[in-house]
């Protein structure tokens, strides 16, 4: 099955429910990822050389799509800029989503697993804008996490779009919007904004930020919704 980002499931309301080897566990609200634990004392692991990608919203062939944990069972549909579109299942069980990796990560001296940002469409559950993140390391929870719809404190994990900060709920290596009612607004703004930033503090007390380019995101979400009509 495809990674499914859901609220209220074990290891996060965003849980990738996957049919993959035991070493890979799926994620949705908190997100569930594999057993890897971030080790922040060592330098960050070298990443594979990045391929040249179009920064425009032009659709490209899906054969070069990224492979996040558990996505072996999902079908790559298209690539728009930094954003890949995947789909899985048929009919009412069909799940579609747009996914990207961060363009830049700070600080570079920390060793972390790869991060991913998802926006998921689940036809059967009438879900159209579920936002979730695989952080690649365990993060500290927000001080306001236990308070429903509370705004983020200055040191809380956040998703930042321009000057607006959206509080995140974290669990283990994953995060999702603390207030689900903000999902539609966030997804709409993502299609209008050039960059999104995820800011957290690791369990070891290290402030971190991941920058995601949003070129192509609007087209990717349009295609994901078409795939899950």
pLDDT in tens, 73-84: 788 999 999 999
What average pLDDT does the structure give for the chain? 75
Least confident of 116-125, 152-161, 187-196: 152-161
Residue 225 is predicted with a pLDDT of 95
Residue 51 lies in a domain: no
Residue 195 is predicted with a pLDDT of 97
Residue 40 lies in a domain: no
Domains in the chain: how many in total?
1
Residue 142 is predicted with a pLDDT of 84
Higher pLDDT among residues 117 and 125, named by residue:
117
Residue 129 is predicted with a pLDDT of 94
pTM over 0.75: no
Angle at the Cα of 67 from the Cα atoms of 121 and 14, rounded to 5 degrees: 40
Rounded mean pLDDT of 104-120?
93
Q: Is 35 exposed, middle or buried (0-12, 13-18, 19+ CB in 10 A)?
A: exposed
Rounded mean pLDDT of 119-129?
90
**How far is CA 167 from each of CA 108, 175, 176, rounded to the nearest angstrom?**
24, 10, 9
Residue 68 lies in a domain: yes
Residue 108 lies in a domain: yes
Q: DSSP letter for 20, please.
A: S
Residue 84 lies in a domain: yes
Tell me the residue range of the domain where 109 lies.
Answer: 3-35+58-227
Rounded mean pLDDT of 132-136?
95
């Amino acid at each position: 099955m495809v990674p499914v980002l859901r609220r209220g499931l074990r290891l996060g309301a965003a849980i990738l429910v996957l049919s993959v080897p035991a070493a890979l566990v799926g994620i949705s609200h908190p997100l569930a990822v594999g057993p890897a634990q971030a080790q922040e004392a060592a330098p960050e692991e070298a990443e594979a050389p990045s391929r040249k990608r179009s920064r425009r919203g032009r659709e490209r062939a899906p054969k070069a799509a990224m492979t996040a944990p558990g996505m072996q069972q999902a079908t790559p549909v298209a690539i728009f800029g930094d954003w890949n579109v995947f789909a899985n299942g048929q009919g009412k069980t069909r799940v579609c989503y747009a996914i990207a990796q961060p363009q830049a990560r700070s600080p570079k001296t920390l060793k972390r697993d790869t991060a991913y940002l998802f926006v998921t469409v689940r036809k059967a559950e009438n879900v159209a804008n579920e936002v979730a993140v695989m952080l690649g390391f365990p993060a500290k929870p927000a001080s306001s996490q236990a308070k429903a719809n509370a705004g983020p404190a200055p040191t809380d994990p956040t998703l930042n779009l321009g000057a607006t900060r959206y509080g995140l709920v974290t669990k283990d290596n994953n995060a999702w919007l603390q207030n689900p009612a903000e999902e539609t607004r966030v997804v709409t703004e993502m299609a209008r904004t050039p960059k999104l930033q995820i800011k957290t503090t690791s369990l070891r007390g290290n402030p971190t930020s991941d920058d995601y380019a949003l070129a192509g995101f609007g087209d990717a979400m349009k295609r994901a919704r078409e795939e899950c009509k």
